[in-house]
Structure formats: structure tokens, C-alpha cells
Amino acid sequence: MGRTQLPVWVCPVLKLTIELTYAACCLLCAVAGAVFDMTSRRVPNFVTLPAICFGLLLHWIFGSWLQLGGAAAAGLICGSVFLLFYLAGGMGGGDVKLIAAAGCISGLSLVGPLLNIGALAVHHRMEGLVPHPILNMSDPRSVRLPYAVAIATGSALSLLLLAVQR
């Protein structure tokens, strides 16, 4: 039995409310990852892997198989972009999994703001700028940047953009 779904033109408010739900869940996941990243310099698997499953399940429940595929594509796009920087030695694997989880939760429509803020953080790192000492609690002289904070900022920006559109 297939589920029926209302066309977007019938209920545009419902679509925006669901998009806000995706963005809010993405922000919750990213903030959890940022807290772990700032305190322990690790984004644990028990944050990222359930978040990926939750995002895919959320899109399947509120949408359809097509939306589930879109969420998986968003996770692959976000994860692939950050995977390049991981392979170059610029960030940790937890950051890659966190951005993939954020992509799975937010879906294709919010990939842009997520990756824009992430790109700013990578640019910050590539320019050789030193992050604020409070971001480097373990060693203020190191140039490590907790990218989960940038991912959380991108998630907050996504939520803010959707709220302003409303």
C-alpha cells in the first residue's frame, strides 16, 4: 500500500513547517556534536550514526521514498565535500560524519547553507589564521578548529533562513 501525499500547492504551509522541523532537528544534532568537539576534540559515533538513521527515517515518514533518496543524496553531498578535506589531513572523521548526518537530517533544500558555513571554516583554516584561544581549550597554541561549531552555525543559519521566509 502506497501512502498518499498532498501536493505542495495544496498546503504550502505544511511543507514549510516540515522544513522547519528538519532544520531544527539538524541544529539539535549539530549542537550536540559541537559540544563534544569543543570539550573532547572528538565527535563520537553515538551522536553521528543514529543522527544519520534518524534523518533518513524522518524524511521517509514525513515524505516518501523520493524524499528519503533526496536526504541520502544530501548526506552524500555534504559528506563527500568534507571527505576531501579529511583525506587532505585538514579535519577529523567525526566532522565528516557530522556534516553527513546534518545533510541527511536537513535534506537537499538546506545543503547550501550548511556547506557555505563549512566552506568559510575551511577557508579560515587554509589561510593559516589562528582560531580564538577559547576554541582550543586543550592547547591554545594549536591551530585546530572544531569544525562541528561551524556545522552548528550552518545549521542555525538554515533554520534562520527558513524562519525568515515564513
> What is the structure's pLDDT at 130?
52
Question: What residue segments make up the domains of the chain, in order of their start?
Answer: 12-165
> What is the structure's pLDDT at 146?
76
Q: What is the mean pLDDT of each run of 10 residues along the chain (166 residues)?
A: 49 67 92 91 92 94 89 94 83 90 91 75 52 51 69 86 79
How far apart (Å, rounded) are the C-alpha atoms in residues 59 and 118? 23
- Tens-digit pLDDT profile for residues 31-60: 999 999 888 888 999 999 999 999 999 999
> What is the structure's pLDDT at 71?
95
> What is the structure's pLDDT at 51?
95
pTM: 0.79
> What is the structure's pLDDT at 69?
94
How far apart (Å, rounded) are the C-alpha atoms in residues 148 and 87? 17
Q: Is-contact 56 72, C-beta < 8 A?
A: yes
DSSP H or E stretch at residue 155: helix 147-165
First-to-last CA distance in the chain?
34
> What is the structure's pLDDT at 10?
45
How far apart (Å, rounded) are the C-alpha atoms in residues 146 and 135? 7
Q: Is 161 exposed, middle or buried (0-12, 13-18, 19+ CB in 10 A)?
A: middle
CA of 139: how far to CAs of 3, 93, 143, 160, in Å?
54, 20, 9, 33
Largest CA distance in the chain: 60
